Structures are given as structure tokens and as C-alpha cells.
Amino acid sequence: MELIHVTMNLLVPPVIVMVILITMPPYLIYKLVYFIVASSFYMEDMKGKVVLITGASSGIGEQLVYEYARRGARLVLVARRKNLLEQVANKARGFGSTDVLIVCADVSKVEDCKRFVEEAVHHFGRLDHLVNNAGVASAYAFEEAINIVNFVPVMDVNFWGSIYSTHFAIPHLKKSKGKIVVTASPAGWLPVARNSFYGASKAALINFFETLRVELGSSIKITIVSPGFIESEMTHGKHLSQFGAMEVNQQRIDVLIGSFPVATAEMCAKAMVNGACRGARYITVPSYFGAFFLLKILCPEILDWFSRPKYQHLITT
């Protein structure tokens, strides 16, 4: 048995490299042609279709509402703040959505997720797109945790919130041959200092939906989105504190963002909906963030150095 493993260790890597070298050129050509054809001829018509969006009261979620509304979709808006949901719903109707249902719910609670999916299907009779967008940020290093349990909400919202809603939505999405859109993050594969809790939740999210894509096959398409720094309440300083409560600390968020430009939520939402409608597997917004993934694979030490904290004084602030 040991000899078998030694032999495979010697043979498998060069074989994989050879396969990549042979298949990569035609694969890239195929992807380019598919992108052009899908963008031109196979964009899904969303008129009259039903889209459920979590985290719909602000930021990327709010702009996703407007983007789907412009395409004539009927909408289910989910978030905790009813007053903001009502404002977003009114604007969505003005943008062209013929029917908008708002549901106040907390995605970290499984019973709430079951309820809003049931309300959506009861009201509209179908579900075509599930957009798992709700999320919460944290800008504290692991060593700064006063009580590790205080950071449980990061996983509860970012990971379990998407899993719960997906579990209840799948039977309805299979009937409509619908789609799941997941707001992940480059933090799921890009190590960023003082971002370990958030990054872990997004890494779990990416891995889960990549696996679910294989399990579901062609019955439901899944689009995994990795937005970079996008204008939202998060980039304005709102995140989970080390004490387990939401706080606004612009200084900490500014350090995480550094010199990177912050893209608009409207631009991000348009890219997400376009990608979902053409059946894209992955979307990175802005697209240049994808280059860091190559750096992670080819030169991980350089990426670690680049991501290492430069402002240690924040640990005491």
C-alpha cells in the first residue's frame, strides 16, 4: 500500500499539470464564447418571476431589489427592519416590480427562514430565485476576542442563515428550475488580518454551495458571488464588536479597506443579476479581485505578508 501511494505521489502531479496545459486553452475559448452567447441570447427574462432577497433593507441587498425590479420581477424582501423594508419596497414598485411582499425576519433563526419561504410561496405560488445576501461583518482579530461566544452571530447569519433558507427553498426552486445566488466574499479565500471570523463564515459558505452545486446537478443553478469592498453599512463602519453587539467603528473598517477603492452597491447588484440570469457559476466584483486568488495559489507567502496587520495599535482601540 505504501508503494502505491509513493507511485501516485510521483505520477499524479505531472499528469494533472499535463491535463491543465492541454485543456486550458480550449476551455478558456469555450468560456469566452459562452459568455458572449449567454450575454447576448440566453439571458433569463425575469418579468413576472419571483425573487426572494435576504438582507434587502440596505447596501447590496437594497440595490439587488431595484435591479430585479427594473427587470419586472415580483419580489419578496426579507430583513429585520420593517421601516427600511417598506421604503425599499415602495421604490421597487416605482422601478417596475408589480408585486412586492415584505417579511420581517432574522435569518439566523431557522423558524424565521421556514416562515418567509412559506409566505413567499403562499403569496406568489412559486419561487424562481433565492438570493442569500444577508450578512454581518466583524473587524476583530481572533486574539481580541473577550468571549469567543460573542462571535457566534457571524457564523449564524453569514453561514447558517443561507443554509436554512436554502433548505426550505429547494423543493420550490426545483419545480421552477430556479437559481440560488449567494453573496460570499473574497475573504472566504483571501486571508485578511482582523477578519478571521468573517472570513471563516464566508469560506464555509463557498465550500457548502460548491458541494451543493454538485449534489443538485442541473436541477438548480447556483451563482456564488464574491464582492470586494462595496459601499454598504459595513464599509461605513458597522460591524459586530468584540462584546457581541453591533457597533460603528469607521477606523477599524478603514484599516481593513486600506487604499482599495470602494465600488458602488448599484454596480455590484447589476453584475450579480446579470451573472445569475446568464447562469454564471462565479462572479467577482470588481473582477480584479480574482487576481489575488492566483497569488494565493502561486505565491501564498507573498499574500500572507501583504495581508499582515500594519496597524497593531488597533488591537487596543
Q: Which domain holds residue 287?
A: 46-313
Model pLDDT for residues 282-292, shown as the tens digit of each residue: 999 998 888 88
Percent of the chain with pLDDT over 90: 55
* Residue 6 within any structural domain of the chain: no
E strand or H helix at 110: helix 110-124
* Residue 81 within any structural domain of the chain: yes
| Number of separate domains in the chain | 1
d(CA 51, CA 119): 13
* Residue 67 or residue 29, greater confidence: 67
Contact 44, 277 (CB under 8 A): yes
Contact 74, 50 (CB under 8 A): yes
* Residue 13 within any structural domain of the chain: no
Lowest mean pLDDT among 15-24, 34-43, 233-242: 34-43
Contact 135, 154 (CB under 8 A): no
Amino acid found at 260: F
Catalytic: which of 198, 282, 288, 311?
A: 198
* Residue 293 within any structural domain of the chain: yes
Nearest to residue 297, comparing CAs of 191, 156, 160?
Answer: 191
Query: What is the pLDDT at residue 261?
Result: 84
Model pLDDT for residues 149-190, shown as the tens digit of each residue: 989 999 999 999 999 999 999 999 999 999 999 999 998 888
CA atoms within 13 A on the CB side of 241: 8
Query: What is the pLDDT at residue 206?
Result: 97
* Residue 256 within any structural domain of the chain: yes
CB atoms under 10 Å from CB of 132, counted, come to: 27
> Is the per-residue pLDDT at 310 higher than 70?
no
* Residue 184 or residue 3, greater confidence: 184
Per-residue cell: 7? 507511485
* Residue 17 within any structural domain of the chain: no
Query: What is the pLDDT at residue 311?
Result: 42
Region 228-246: what's the mean pLDDT? Answer: 80
- C-alpha distances out from residue 14 to 117, 283, 297, Å: 48, 30, 17
d(CA 75, CA 51): 5
Q: Going by C-beta distance under 8 Å and a sequence separation of 6 or more, which residues neighbour residue 212?
A: 166, 222
The CATH number covering residue 185 comes to 3.40.50.720
> Is the per-residue pLDDT at 307 higher than 50?
yes
Query: What is the pLDDT at residue 166?
Result: 98
198 is catalytic: yes
Q: Which three-class secondary structure state does DSSP give residue 222?
A: strand
Query: What is the pLDDT at residue 309?
Result: 56
Region 204-216: what's the mean pLDDT? Answer: 97
> Is the per-residue pLDDT at 195 higher than 90?
no
* Residue 9 within any structural domain of the chain: no
> Is the per-residue pLDDT at 260 higher than 90?
no
* Residue 254 or residue 2, greater confidence: 2
Nearest to residue 99, comparing CAs of 62, 172, 49?
Answer: 49
* Residue 37 within any structural domain of the chain: no
| Residue given cell 465550500 in the structure block | 207
Q: What is the mean pLDDT of the chain?
A: 87
Task: Specify the pTM.
Answer: 0.88
Q: Going by C-beta distance under 8 Å and a sequence separation of 6 or more, which residues neighbour residue 50?
A: 73, 74, 75, 76, 120, 124, 126, 127, 128, 129
